[in-house]
Chains A and B, each alone.
Chain A
Amino acid sequence: MSDTLTFTIDGKECTARPGQNIVDAAKENGVYIPILCHFEGLTPAGTCRICTVKVNGKCMAACTTEVAEGMAVENETPEINDMRKVILEMLLVEGNHFCPACEKSGDCELQAMAYRYKIMAPRFKFTFKPRKLDASNSKLILERNRCIFCKRCIRGVLTEDGKHVFAFTKRGSEIDINIDKELAAKITDEMAQEAMDMCPVGSIIRKEQGFAKPIGARKYDSKPIGSDVESKAVNK
Chain B
Amino acid sequence: MSKPIVATTSLAGCFGCHMSILDIDERILDLIELVEFNKSPIDDIKTFTKQCDIGLIEGGCCNSENVHVLRDFRKNCNILIAVGECALMGGLPAMRNGIPVKECLEEAYLNSPTVDDKIIPNDSELPMILDRVYPCQDIVKIDYYLPGCPPRADLIWNALVALIKGEEMVLPYEVVKFD
Task: Give the B-binding residues of A (Cβ under 8 A).
Answer: 96, 98-102, 105-106, 111, 114-115, 118, 120-122, 125-126, 128-131, 215, 221-224
Residues of A within 8 A of B173 (CB): 115, 222-224
CB neighbours (8 Å) of A115 from chain B are 173, 176-178
Q: With an 8 A cutoff between CB atoms, is B85 at the interface?
A: yes
Check if B59 is an interface residue, CB within 8 A of chain A.
no
Cβ A100 vs Cβ B178 within 8 A: yes
A25 shortest CB reach to chain B, Å: 27
User: Can you report 21 residue pairs joining A to B where beta carbons are below 8 Å apart?
Assistant: A96-B98, A98-B85, A98-B89, A98-B91, A98-B94, A98-B95, A99-B85, A99-B179, A100-B85, A105-B178, A106-B179, A115-B177, A118-B176, A120-B145, A120-B146, A121-B82, A121-B89, A121-B145, A126-B90, A128-B97, A129-B98
In angstroms, Cα B85 to Cα A111, docked, is 13
User: For residue B178, which residues in chain A have a CB less than 8 angstroms away from its CB?
Assistant: 99-100, 105, 111, 114-115
Closest to B137 in A: A121
What chain A residues lie within 8 Å of B146 (beta carbons)? 120
Residue of B90, B95, B98, B179 with highest tally of chain A CB at under 10 A: B179
- Nearest opposing residue in chain B for A223, CB measure: B173
Contact digits for B98-135, partner A, Cβ 8 Å, 1 yes 0 no: 10000000000000000000000000000000001001
Classify the secondary structure of A's interface with B.
loop
Asked whether B147 is an interface residue with its Cβ less than 8 Å from the other chain, the reply is yes
Instruction: State which of A98, A100, A102, A126 has its C-beta within 8 Å of the C-beta of B135.
Output: A126
Contact status of A101 and B82, CB under 8 A, knowing A223-B173, A224-B173: no
With A100-B85, A100-B92, A100-B178 already in contact, the answer to whether A128 and B98 are too (CB < 8 A) is yes
Shortest distance from the beta carbon of A108 to any chain B beta carbon, whole Å: 9
Across the interface, which residues of A come within 8 angstroms of B147, CB to CB?
Answer: 120-121
Q: Which residues of A contact B89 (CB under 8 A)?
A: 98, 121-122, 126
The B29-47 residues at the A interface (CB cut-off 8 A) are none
The minimal Cβ–Cβ distance linking B56 to chain A, given in whole angstroms, is: 14
Apart from A96-B98, A128-B98: 19 A-B pairs, beta carbons within 8 A: A98-B92, A98-B94, A100-B92, A101-B95, A111-B178, A118-B171, A120-B146, A120-B147, A120-B176, A121-B137, A125-B137, A126-B90, A128-B90, A128-B94, A128-B97, A130-B98, A131-B98, A223-B173, A224-B173
